[in-house]
Structure 1
C-alpha cells in the first residue's frame, strides 16, 4: 500500500535555471546544398550546384548567460535571429545582391507563401527561421530588430502591396529559392 502525504504535495518546488555547455571549440555547422539541372541543349545536361555553410560556436561558459537573465525572453531570442540574419545578409551581399533587402523580403513573404503548418518539412524549417516574434519591446531593442519586425508585420497585414514591391532591392525570393521554384528550367518568377 502506498501512502501519499497531501501536505508534501502542496509544496511548490523550484530550482535555478540550468544551462548546457559544450567542450571548448565545439561548433554547430549547417550546410545547405542545392543542385539545379540546367538544359543547355537538347540531350545534354549541365548541373549547377550552390552550397552555403553556416557555423556557430557553441557555449562553453555559463557566465556569459548571466547578462541575458534580466532581459525579456523575446529580446534574447531575437539576438540569435539577428545573428543568423546577419550571416544570411553577408552571404547574399558576397554574391552581389542587397542582403538586407533579401532578408526583409523573406520575412515578409514567410507569412504569405508558406504552406499551412504540418504540410511540408521544408516550409516548417523556413517558418522557424523567418517567423519573427510578434511582440516588439520598444526601447530595449536595436533599430535593426525593428526593421525585421516591421517587414514581418507587413507580410501579415497585407495592404495590397506585394513583398517584392516593398523590398525592390532584392530581385529574387529566398523563400522561392529554398522551396525550389527557381530550379525548373525556364521558370521565371512573376516579379
Structure 2
C-alpha cells in the first residue's frame, strides 16, 4: 500500500510543478524565462517598394509580347545604431526625399513637379477619408502630410518653404493633374 502511494506521489509531483506558475525546485519564475525580442536589421538593409506596369504589344506576329515598366523606391531600414531621438527627424527627412523624387520624376516629363507635390499636400488635407477608415488613405496621409511644428520647420523650409504659410493651399498651383486623384482612382477601375 505504501509503495502505491509513493509511486502515485512521484508520478503526480512533476505534473503539478509544470501546471503551476512556480516550482519549489526552480529559483526563477517561469514567466521570467522568456526574454524580449527585438527586430534588428543588418547594416545597409533596405525595403524596396516596386510598382510594375505590364502592357501587351498589339502585333500580329509574334504574339504574346509584353512591355514591362518598373519603378523601385528604396527606404533604408534602421540598424543597431538607430535611436529614438533621431526617429522623427529621420522620418521627415525621408518624407522630404520622397517628395523630391516625385518632383524630379515629374520634372523629367516636362511638368512642374514642385507644384504637383504642393497640390498633393494640399489635397491630402481635405480629400482623404478620416484616419482608420482606409489603409490606402492612411498611407497617403502619412506620405503627404506636412510637418508643421517649429522643430521641423528648418527641415522643410530649405526645400518647401511654402508649406510654412498657413494659407498656401489657397494659391493656385501650376499642376495639370492631381496625383492623389490618380492614385485613388487606380483601385476603382474594372479590369
How many Å apart are 1:101 and its aligned residue?
Answer: 1.1
1:158 is matched with none
1:35/1:136 Cα in 2 relative to 1: closer, same or farther (>3 Å)?
A: farther
Question: Following the alignment from structure 1 to structure 2, what is the Cα–Cα distance between the partners of residues 144 and 94?
Answer: 18
How many Å apart are 1:126 and its aligned residue?
Answer: 0.6
SS in 2 for 1:23: coil
Question: Following the alignment from structure 2 to structure 1, what is the Cα–Cα distance between the partners of residues 80 and 164?
Answer: 31
How many Å apart are 1:103 and its aligned residue?
Answer: 0.7
1:167 is matched with 173
How many Å apart are 1:135 and its aligned residue?
Answer: 1.1
SS in 2 for 1:97: coil
Q: Which protein, 1 or 2, shows the higher relative CO under an 8 Å CA cutoff with sep ≥ 6?
A: 1
The answer to whether the Cα contact below 8 Å between 1:136 and 1:149 also exists between their aligned partners in 2 is no
SS in 2 for 1:117: coil
How many Å apart are 1:59 and its aligned residue?
Answer: 4.7
How many Å apart are 1:97 and its aligned residue?
Answer: 1.4
Question: Where do residues 92-103 of structure 1 align in structure 2 (5 Å cutoff)?
Answer: 92-103=106-117
2:49 is matched with 30
How many Å apart are 1:167 and its aligned residue?
Answer: 1.1
Question: Following the alignment from structure 1 to structure 2, what is the Cα–Cα distance between the partners of residues 118 and 153?
Answer: 27
Q: TM-score, normalised by structure 1?
A: 0.57
Q: Which has the larger radius of gyration?
A: 2
Do residues 178 (structure 1) and 183 (structure 2) align? Answer: yes
Question: Following the alignment from structure 1 to structure 2, what is the Cα–Cα distance between the partners of residues 102 and 25?
Answer: 31
1:178/1:50 Cα in 2 relative to 1: closer, same or farther (>3 Å)?
A: farther
How many Å apart are 1:93 and its aligned residue?
Answer: 1.9
Q: How many residues align?
A: 142
2:162 is matched with 147
Question: Following the alignment from structure 2 to structure 1, what is the Cα–Cα distance between the partners of residues 121 and 144?
Answer: 5
Question: Following the alignment from structure 1 to structure 2, what is the Cα–Cα distance between the partners of residues 87 and 143?
Answer: 16
2:126 is matched with 112
Question: Following the alignment from structure 1 to structure 2, what is the Cα–Cα distance between the partners of residues 118 and 50?
Answer: 32
Question: Following the alignment from structure 2 to structure 1, what is the Cα–Cα distance between the partners of residues 98 and 43?
Answer: 21
In structure 1, stretches of 5+ residues that fail to align are 1-18, 37-47, 156-160, 186-191
Kindly report the root-mean-square deviation, in angstroms, between the aligned alpha carbons of the 2 structures.
3.8
1:139/1:108 Cα in 2 relative to 1: closer, same or farther (>3 Å)?
A: closer
